[in-house]
Structure 1
Amino acid sequence: MPTKPATRRPSARTLQKGQQTRAAIIEAALGLASHMGLEGLSIGTLAEVTDMSKSGVFAHFGSREELQISVIREYHNKFEEEVFFPAIRQPRGLPRLQAMFENWVKRVSVEIDSGCIYISGAVEFDDRPGPVRDALAGMVKAWHAAMERAIRLGIDVGHLRDDTDPAQMLFEVHGLILALHHDARFLRNPGAVERARAGFARTVSYYAAPKVVAFPSPAHVR
């Protein structure tokens, strides 16, 4: 009885090359999505930008939806590297919370000419249920949860009042970022970054414990 030929497994070198190609495609897609939005992504456009065939790009993702989700994950990874991980090296309490906000402001400042996928994606998918919206909302909620934990730690170490509502403070801080993005990117208003920082200082002052006088600005902190 004839036997079936053994299936050849891809070599480690082939797998590595495939991973590198996929990473390069995602990087190009992230650049496109920053300017055109997630809905602006298409296999055809990406194939043209990366000088690949449509079938070559499609083979790495299988669908436009999976491509969009991969871009969201990559954006989140970069956001964590630039905003979250440097900040958690700061002491618990207000120093860490201030560093998180300052790094967030720096990130938004860089994105003024391109766009924030968290914000633009929310506009695109706010009323469109599905895996892409779920992935995007999940990443945003993960960041908000990290900010809320930092606020709770601020209460625990005595930097913020015991009656501080972490969800309310987070809402106010997030509102400053949304206003910064709107005024800096859409209205092109000068001084938007300074106003966001002033708003954060005022918010912290409101919630600060009585014994807390002030903390140095973490503008130099990464």
Structure 2
Amino acid sequence: MTTQDGRLLRGEQTRRAILDRAADIASAEGLEGLSIGRLATELKISKSGVFTHFGSKEELQLATVRAAVEVFREHVTKPALAVPPGLRRVRALLNAWTAYQRDLVFPGGCFFYSTAAEFDARPGAVRDAVAKSQLNWMTFVERCLREAQELGEIDPGADVRQVAFELDALGEAGGAKALLFDDDDRFARASRAMRNRLAAITTG
């Protein structure tokens, strides 16, 4: 049993190392930049070792999306949930999201911005997985805004879904432009724009 447990642990560690590297590559080069051979070479493991974990390029891509979702949750969603509901949580969420992009948690910037652009016009399981991750993100932003609205901190007449869309667009644009122009001031501008949008619907 001890030997079997050791093998399982090593197998999980190998899988995690593969997915960590795969997510880094995909953030900069896209999910099509992934290959079993490339990962095997970079991580100095056999192709069969990589294939055993995933079996196909599509499964590798799907597993990479799932791994990236977990990283995003750790850096963005969980810190926000540690803050009480209301405007404080909304602000914590936006700050964590900006930090996730600014600190290059993924070397190519936001994993989801990159992969969404790559697969938005390509029907299939990978596109569906990326789309689901983005739908879940937008739903969470709306939920946080709605909690603040229910607490009376946001104008009851505000269109929460529209505000969530605008905040997402501002943050995404700031992150993309900061990376493109190598200019961290774009993060500050995006953050300022998001704060101004929130201020416009804040009560009191």
Of 98, 103, 114, 1:120 maps to 114
TM-aligned CA deviation for residue 163 of structure 1 = 0.8
SS in 2 for 1:11: helix
Distance 2:17 2:187 in 1: 32
Distance 2:56 2:43 in 1: 17
- Cα deviations across residues 18-60 of structure 1 (Å, max 9, x unaligned)? 2222112111212222222211001111111111121221111
Bigger drift between 182-191 and 75-84 goes to 182-191
Say whether the 8 Å CA contact 2:102–2:184 is kept in structure 1.
no
> Paired residue for 1:186?
180
Q: Does 1:148 align with 2:142?
A: yes
> Paired residue for 1:55?
48
Structure 1 alignment gaps of length 5 or more: 1-9, 212-222
Amino acid at match of 2:16: A
Say whether the 8 Å CA contact 1:34–1:114 is kept in structure 2.
yes
Greater share of helix: 2
Distance 1:12 1:156 in 2: 49
Of 11, 25, 36, 1:43 maps to 36
> Paired residue for 1:78?
71
TM-aligned CA deviation for residue 113 of structure 1 = 5.1
> Paired residue for 1:25?
18
List structure 1 segments (4+ residues) > 4 angstroms apart after TM superposition: none
Within-5 A mapping of 1:131-210: 131-209=125-203
Amino acid at match of 2:122: R
Identity %: 37
Distance 1:189 1:23 in 2: 32
Distance 2:111 2:191 in 1: 22
TM-score normalised over the length of structure 2: 0.93
Structure 2 alignment gaps of length 5 or more: none
Amino acid at match of 1:21: T
Distance 2:86 2:202 in 1: 11
SS in 1 for 2:103: helix
Distance 1:101 1:89 in 2: 14
Distance 1:189 1:26 in 2: 29
- Cα deviations across residues 103-151 of structure 1 (Å, max 9, x unaligned)? 0001111228522110010111001111111111111111111111001
Say whether the 8 Å CA contact 1:29–1:46 is kept in structure 2.
yes
Distance 1:193 1:14 in 2: 44
SS in 1 for 2:178: helix
Q: How many residues align?
A: 201
Say whether the 8 Å CA contact 1:113–1:185 is kept in structure 2.
no
